[in-house]
Amino acid sequence: MIFLRFFVPNSLAERVFYSMMGLSFNLKKSTAVLSIVSYIAITAFLSLYAIERTTFNFSNFNFVTDLLRYFIFSIGLVSCFLYESKLKTALCTVYFIVAYITHKFSGSYFLFDLFFIPIFLSRIVTSRVVVKIFFYVLVITVISAVLLDIYEVLPQASFGTRGKFVRHNLGFAHPNSLGLMLMLLGMLFVLKVKHLTFDHLLLPVLLGFICIVVPNSYSSAYVLFTLAFLLCLIIRFQNCNLTLVAQRRFFVTLMIIFICIIALVYFLSFSEYFKDFIHKLPGTLLSRLSFGAEAFRKYGFSLFGQPYFPKDTYPGYFVVDSILFYLPIFIGIVPSIIYLLLVGRAVWLSIKSNNFVLLVIQFLIFIYSISEAIVIYPFFMFAYFDYNTKVSVS
């Protein structure tokens, strides 16, 4: 019935579809139903990924999440059919096919997980509700994991020490997973607040210190501290509304900065310059860049992705964590270009709506991705919605 959209006017197609299904046409009611169903699907999808980061073993995880993806795609297709143009309805199908092909080559659904809902369900879900869903799902996950770990209900895991700190995972599969959850909670909290004040920034700072003391996750802590600092500037200059010309110049400037950062990361990875300085920094940034360079030398970049190398390829620990290496090597050049274009689109929408809180979060996610490939997981989907209106600050 979706193909009716391409041969008859929109309103007529909608009425033909409903009459063939034996239903009365009520646009407002259908929108409410689709919205509720979408929110339930989003909650279930995110909850499964949150649980997957704990030590709980969910054997049917891939099967259930795949079913949810097809279900969400169906909702998106119906939404585009009812409320969008014929072009976007076709684009919805084409995008899903591209995401599916990417999965077949690389094993990753990241194009779907990050961007499908923000782009193709934007008429039936609101960004504000999605942010609240993300926030409360992660709050419940963290509290549940900590309590179940204390009472030893979840499988126990030990990660030793890093320097003077014991790395606690508190029910999560890795200490960095706990740090990730705390970092996301800090981002979602400031994005959820309607009137951002200096007092609200105490939570990201507190979460940053917890990231250092408990899981000893420096990358998450640095992001939270930087988030608080940059939001202080935004609150200070809250009345800054850019004109269209200024917005375009600001966008071009940011894109140039992003490109320069990417070039710098590749330069540092393949050269010996500043290696001693990077080695002295807290965390494992040097090893992550070195592993990425080594993976490139062995596998090179791929067009549409390639399977992750077997664990026995290298003795000991060898993981490509930097998104700047993981994407072009194992996901492919073409999906990587699509990813960068859609991230650029999200940045432009943030600038266009003068939503500098979201813009700061998008920038920090990009910086975080230099050492963490997990930014292609559904947890970061919230950063790519069109929030339309500026977040008010005072």
pLDDT in tens, 314-332: 555 567 888 999 999 989 9
Q: Residue 385 carries which DSSP code? A: S
Q: pLDDT for 337-392, tens place per residue?
A: 999 999 999 999 999 988 899 999 999 999 999 988 899 999 999 999 987 634 44
Q: Which two tokens stand for residue 118?
A: 């923000």
Alpha helix ranges (H) inside 300-353 = 323-326, 333-352
Give the number of other CB atoms < 10 A from CB of residue 265: 19
Checking 209-214 for CB contacts under 8 A at 24+ apart, the result is 210/182, 211/179, 211/182, 211/183, 212/165, 213/165, 214/168, 214/170, 214/175, 214/178
Integer Cα distance of 77 and 19 in angstroms: 19
Average pLDDT along the chain: 86
Lowest mean pLDDT of 45-54, 170-179, 264-273, 308-317, name the range. 308-317
Q: pLDDT for 89-131, tens place per residue?
A: 999 999 999 999 999 988 899 999 999 999 999 889 999 999 9
Lowest mean pLDDT of 294-298, 305-309, 323-327, 337-341, name the range. 305-309
What is the per-residue pLDDT for 8?
41
Query: Does 16 score more than 60 pLDDT?
Result: no
Q: Which two tokens stand for residue 98?
A: 């591209």
What is the per-residue pLDDT for 312?
47
Q: pLDDT for 35-64, tens place per residue?
A: 999 999 999 999 999 999 999 988 899 999
Of the pLDDT bands very low, low, confident and very high (cuts 50, 70, 90), residue 272 is confident
Q: Which residues pair with 393 in a beta bridge?
A: 196
In the chain, where the domains are located: 2-120, 127-241+354-393
Neighbouring residues of 173: CB distance < 8 A, sequence distance ≥ 6 = 52, 53, 54, 55, 157
